[in-house]
């Protein structure tokens, strides 16, 4: 059932993204009175699931969910329909229009995907606000996994900055650490002092490949007393709500689970406590019950901060979010082509994309993931690879600059090269999926 929910979310998101993208090409072509012969969501080699014709356009749903397409009259595209190019140019064809109109038709799909992301982020900001854990609240620091300690972190370290940039959002710290093209310098607060840790690129690459970042660090839970059982031994010792236990029998620097375990080991005996109250540490002695308890209850000091937006505030918030995600993903894409980062080994296909969706249906998460995928689709399509929108656009842009149109023969050859590149990327990405999930 979990897999089915993931698949349904992926299918719904992909259908929406492909439909919006192709609608961009379609509507811009129609604005310039260019005839669109086919409008398909998903590919339809040999047959389609259903189709109908309205006017000059055949609308349909293909069976191969690797994308979609619009077949624009008079354009050399993935259909490789050479016969139409041999016929006399008609006024309603793509090739009959000025270069600036053809350029706009080519980039319209990318623009629609970006606008969709903006619309989604605006809607999410208005409906749910922006929730985050502030690093300012993490004054007790973090506990680190073995992988984190191997990098030089210690339990209780509080990350202050990464390469000199202050760490603000807890959920972004991990990605800021591991998505890099070079060594990282992390400033941590340790024992009241700031310490600089140098994290080599090769160790960060190994952390990414092993997915050791998934549990790299967790917020430390302090022994912060939320309430006291008046019949318990803690009340008799003088413990109060708001007290923080910072030492047990001389042991310091632990968090609540570790202090609680230390107290349990003294069941039926007494313990010496260091209690922080109003900024002053008090020494108290408490008797531990036979069950290993003090009769106090601990509360979490962490709250999920939520910034709410009015309708009008959500619009610039959505635009900023889109810009930040585009910038972040572009940086990742740039690092993929740099051999030293080895991020190309982590490229994934449909299995990797589907795995980002949760196994339960959460509309907020669904829309956030859909917006992110819409940006990925936009960026991937604008790359100057023949066969993609960016490849078509760059030839048209060259014509706009020079006044010389690229010959059909060159366009046809570039289309074959582009299709070969796209096929290779598809096989490589999905081959990585198969290797990681079924073989490795």
Higher-pLDDT residue of 160, 392: 160
Residue 81 has a pLDDT of 56
Q: Give the confidence band of 78 by pLDDT, cuts at 50, 70, 90.
A: low
Residues 84-107 have a mean pLDDT of 84
Query: Is the model's pLDDT at 80 over the cut of 60?
Result: no
Look at residue 87 and tell me whether its pLDDT is greater than 60: yes
Region 165-171 average pLDDT: 85
Q: Which residue has the higher pLDDT, 98 or 342?
A: 98
Residue 77 pLDDT grade (very low, low, confident, very high; cuts 50, 70, 90): low
Question: Tens digits of per-residue pLDDT, 292-311?
Answer: 889 899 988 888 788 899 99
For the chain, the average pLDDT equals: 85
pLDDT tens column, 20-35:
999 999 999 999 999 9
Q: How far is CA 72 from the centre of its chain?
A: 34
**pTM tops 0.85, yes or no:** no
What architecture is the 223-298 domain classified under in CATH? Answer: Roll (2.30)
Residue 79 has pLDDT above 60, yes or no: no
CATH topology assigned to domain 131-221: Pdz3 Domain (2.30.42)
Residue limits of CATH 2.30.42.10 in the chain = 131-221, 223-298
**In the prediction, which pLDDT does 223 show?**
92
Looking at residue 85, its pLDDT comes to 62
> How large a percentage of the chain has pLDDT more than 70?
91
């Amino acid at each position: 059932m979990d897999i089915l929910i993931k698949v349904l979310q992926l299918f719904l998101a992909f259908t929406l993204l492909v439909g919006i993208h192709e609608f961009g090409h379609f509507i811009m072509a129609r604005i310039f009175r260019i005839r669109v012969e086919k409008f398909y969501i998903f590919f339809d080699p040999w047959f389609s699931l259903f189709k109908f014709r309205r006017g000059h356009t055949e609308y349909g749903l293909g069976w191969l969910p690797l994308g979609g397409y619009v077949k624009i009259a008079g354009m050399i595209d993935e259909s490789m329909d050479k016969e139409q190019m041999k016929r006399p140019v008609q006024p309603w064809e793509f090739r009959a229009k000025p270069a600036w109109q053809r350029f706009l038709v080519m980039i319209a799909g990318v623009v629609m995907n970006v606008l969709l992301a903006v619309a989604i982020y605006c809607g999410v900001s208005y409906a749910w606000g922006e929730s985050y854990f502030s690093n300012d609240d993490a004054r007790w620091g973090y506990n680190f996994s073995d992988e984190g300690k191997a990098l030089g972190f210690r339990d209780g370290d509080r990350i202050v900055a990464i390469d000199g940039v202050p760490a603000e959002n807890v959920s972004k710290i991990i990605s800021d650490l591991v998505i890099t093209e070079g060594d990282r310098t992390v400033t941590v607060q340790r024992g009241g002092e700031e310490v600089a840790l140098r994290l080599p690129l090769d160790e960060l690459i190994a952390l990414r490949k092993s997915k050791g970042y998934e549990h790299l660090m967790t917020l430390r839970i302090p022994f912060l007393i939320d309430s006291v059982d008046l019949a318990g031994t803690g009340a008799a010792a003088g413990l109060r709500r708001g007290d923080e236990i910072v030492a047990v029998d001389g042991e310091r620097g632990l968090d609540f689970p570790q202090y609680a375990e230390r107290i349990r080991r003294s069941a039926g005996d007494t313990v010496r406590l260091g209690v922080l109250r109003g900024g002053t540490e008090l020494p108290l002695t408490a008797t531990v019950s036979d069950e290993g308890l003090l009769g106090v209850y601990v509360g979490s000091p962490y709250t999920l901060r939520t910034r709410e937006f009015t309708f009008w505030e959500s619009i610039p918030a959505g635009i900023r979010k889109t810009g930040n995600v585009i910038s972040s993903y572009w940086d990742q894409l740039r690092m993929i082509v740099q051999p030293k980062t080895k991020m190309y080994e982590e490229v994934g296909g449909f299995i990797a994309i589907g795995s980002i969706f949760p196994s339960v249906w959460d509309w907020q998460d669904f829309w956030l993931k859909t917006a992110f995928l819409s940006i990925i689709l936009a960026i991937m399509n604008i790359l100057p690879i023949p066969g993609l929108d960016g490849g078509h656009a760059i030839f048209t842009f060259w014509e706009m600059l020079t006044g010389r149109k690229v010959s059909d023969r060159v366009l046809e050859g570039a289309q074959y090269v582009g299709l070969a590149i796209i096929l290779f990327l598809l096989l490589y990405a999905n081959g990585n999926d198969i290797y990681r999930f079924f073989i490795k």
